Structure 1
């Protein structure tokens, strides 16, 4: 795997993403778990995070709003997409687990859109950090639903933005 290249594998109802980032593991872990970092990179290009509340502890939540601010994105311009994560096991800086939901502005779970159980692993590789994201869905059909919504492209752009943010601060 080369730097800046995200690999994507589907294994049944599980989506596995991997990428190596040019930053130390502790910094990459913080970038995934602290609001002041997430605001700079979470979401595809042309989207911002006007709301980002993180309570990073087992049982704590991360509630956020992605908003499209790029007029060139047509019908998406001005659109808001709310998400909510509920954190499970945390082993800083090696890994954490959360359940990811589509939500509304109040934090209520959106019915009909599939949640996923996500484990993020951070592997030290001589000053670089390999991030492995494992998203487990309730069924292969649920995974197909989010893939058809453009999730892979969105994550690719999001992780590109993370690499740019890490380069700017490290």
Structure 2
């Protein structure tokens, strides 16, 4: 099976659009973003695990998670924890998930020093394959630059590679 490449582009200086086609049915790809037992297997870049993953999958519900670096080869990142919090705004199963994404702490308090984003995931059925479009809108061009400078694009590429691997395991 050929690897489906991630494409990315920036719109209006503050919207990052990511697209990738997965060789798996839409219902299954959608479930990967809904079910904590699936998320634990693929969310985050290579060398990172998800020791905490609490999902209340409904509009107004919260997904609170911790990514932890378990790869000693990642130097200063080894042992580091990165907490995140998503607040779901709208869910249309299996077509769309909209949420606000925040950096947070272990208690779920939002980290105001880091830029939040408004995210929309669109799942498009392509005859048994699924095109996933992720739009992340930041308040400003500077906020988008902040997360890009943190290596977000490499991180999401590795994350979606891991999603592809998980889909191949379970389909």
C-alpha distance after superposition, 1:64-119 (max 9, x if no partner): 00000000101100000000000001100000100000000000001210000000
User: Which residue of the partner structure matches residue 38 of structure 1?
Assistant: 39
Equivalence map 1:65-84=2 (5 Å): 65-84=66-85
> Scaled by the length of structure 2, what TM-score is found?
0.97
Alignment gaps of 5+ in structure 2: none
CA distance in 2, matches of 1:118, 1:8: 15
Alignment gaps of 5+ in structure 1: none
CA distance in 1, matches of 2:162, 2:42: 5
CA distance in 2, matches of 1:5, 1:48: 23
User: Which residue of the partner structure matches residue 6 of structure 1?
Assistant: 6
Give the length in aligned residue pairs: 169
CA distance in 2, matches of 1:96, 1:123: 12
Q: CA deviation at 1:165?
A: 0.2
Q: CA deviation at 1:142?
A: 0.4
User: Which residue of the partner structure matches residue 120 of structure 2?
Assistant: 119
User: Which residue of the partner structure matches residue 135 of structure 1?
Assistant: 136
CA distance in 2, matches of 1:96, 1:53: 17
> Scaled by the length of structure 1, what TM-score is found?
0.98
Q: CA deviation at 1:3?
A: 4.8
Q: Helix, strand or coil: the match of 1:134?
A: strand
User: Which residue of the partner structure matches residue 28 of structure 2?
Assistant: 27
Do the aligned partners of 1:16 and 1:134 also contact (CA within 8 Å) in 2? yes
User: Which residue of the partner structure matches residue 108 of structure 2?
Assistant: 107
Which consecutive segments of 4 or more residues in structure 1 shift more than 6 A? none
